Amino acid sequence: MDTHIQMEERLWDYIDGRGTPVERSSIETLLAENMEWQRKYKELLNIHQMMQEVELDAPSMRFSKNVMEEIARLQVAPATKTYINKNIIRGIGAFFLAMIGGFLLFCLGQFKWSGSGSGPSSTFLPRYDLDIDTKMKTFNWGRIFNSAYTSIFVLVLVILGLVMLDMYLGNRKKQTA
């Protein structure tokens, strides 16, 4: 069974003369057999006739002039070229490039860079027998770059950088206003 809203929509289409002949004949059948449809049809037909009898008033010329004056009184926002400083955009870009670079360095620190000494990879890498080289190889760099403290430190730096950028942009906006 149709809901109340669907019944109204179908009846309005019937009153306005829209719809296919099949739809119109099905509504005529419903109007002949169903009392609820008949009651709603009479109600909507009455509303339709009342709307046809009422003349719509055109707005006065003064109304149009008042609207246009109000629009003219409002200040239109200038083009973005005039109030966006390119140095700020460059600064934001440099900040994010520095963050990406720091993140890449952090990720490179996660790899184990020591080889087994045999195989094809050892032939491409030069071997140094210097004392400092052996000390660097024995130092456990993974302990520094894989720790939770380093991850937290990098996260705090990123958040502080964003807060400082926000404060800087807010001060710039206050100075220009």
SS3 of residue 164 by DSSP: helix
Cα torsion 20, 15, 42, 44: sign: positive
DSSP-derived secondary structure letter, 60: P
Both structure tokens of 37: 């449809």
Tell me the pLDDT band of 141, cut-offs 50, 70 and 90.
Answer: low
pLDDT above 70 covers a percentage of the chain that reads 74
d(Cα 2, Cα 23) in Å, to the nearest integer? 14
In a domain, 107, yes or no: yes
With respect to residue 68, please indicate whether it lies within any of the assigned structural domains. Answer: no
Judge if 94 and 32 occupy the same domain: no
Q: Are residues 98 and 156 in the same domain?
A: yes
**How many structural domains compose the chain?**
2
164 and 107 inside one domain? yes
Confidence of residue 123 (pLDDT cuts 50, 70, 90): very low
Stretch among 1-5, 36-40, 117-121, 145-149 having the lowest mean pLDDT = 117-121
Residue 80 within a domain: no
In a domain, 61, yes or no: no
Asked, for residue 19, whether it belongs to a domain, the answer is yes
Domain match, 44 and 90 both:
no
- The reported pTM is 0.33
Range of the domain at 14: 4-51
Spatial CA neighbour of 133 closest among 152, 109, 114, 149: 114
State residue 42's pLDDT score.
92
Q: Give me Rg for the CA atoms of the chain.
A: 38
Single-letter amino acid code for the residue at 176: T
Distance CA(88)–CA(175), nearest Å, equals 14
